[in-house]
Structure 1
């Protein structure tokens, strides 16, 4: 689940919902490019620690609040790296809804959904911690050329697993991004 794009997707969502302005994103893009990590501009909305930015991983949970016309939203970005699972649990335990971000690339999805994969671990932890609303985001769909077959394969396999965990796959939206 490491490098599936959790922080980047979360930061982009915050930006698209008006939670951060374009000047700040441009600043992050410039700073990230200076470290050779230009694609991390959205991740840096939440990854504030020097070590997170240098290593390109989330270490601590990060919270970001913004309002839409209808809702007050608090986004919690949690680490995916096994070394920081305690921090992931802390963040997830505060959530009403989880967005499970899955990398769709060949090999990436398979690693995450494997017996000891972190996609499985994160879905199981979310359910165990009482998070009953789940959204599955299939990230990096561009790496498989937006293949409908690949999308359907991932939805089928993920649905089978989350059903065993306790979620109803029919009520879980799967969003290709």
Structure 2
């Protein structure tokens, strides 16, 4: 699919009473899976959040004093942050091959008599 960068947000930390042990267990299991499908776990930000309470979404949460933040490796070195918003902001925009010809995904092809074949798609 062309997905090169990942963020893992571990939600519902409030249901485990913001448990550091549970978060570390999830990070370990998820890292193993991420490695199997071809990603480097060191290049992935793991963020414990609670969407219901808003913990670690936009601001650092006082409910998880054990959480020191995430670090991920990128081409230019290492990037650090504490919240999900920081992780989203740390995503590097993909390089677009603007010097190459336009590729258009086709939705349909119509054969119109007297005109010819008309490909239809969206830009």
* TM bucket, shorter chain: 0.3 to 0.5
Larger radius of gyration, structure 1 or 2?
A: 2
**Structure with more of its chain in strand, by fraction:** 2
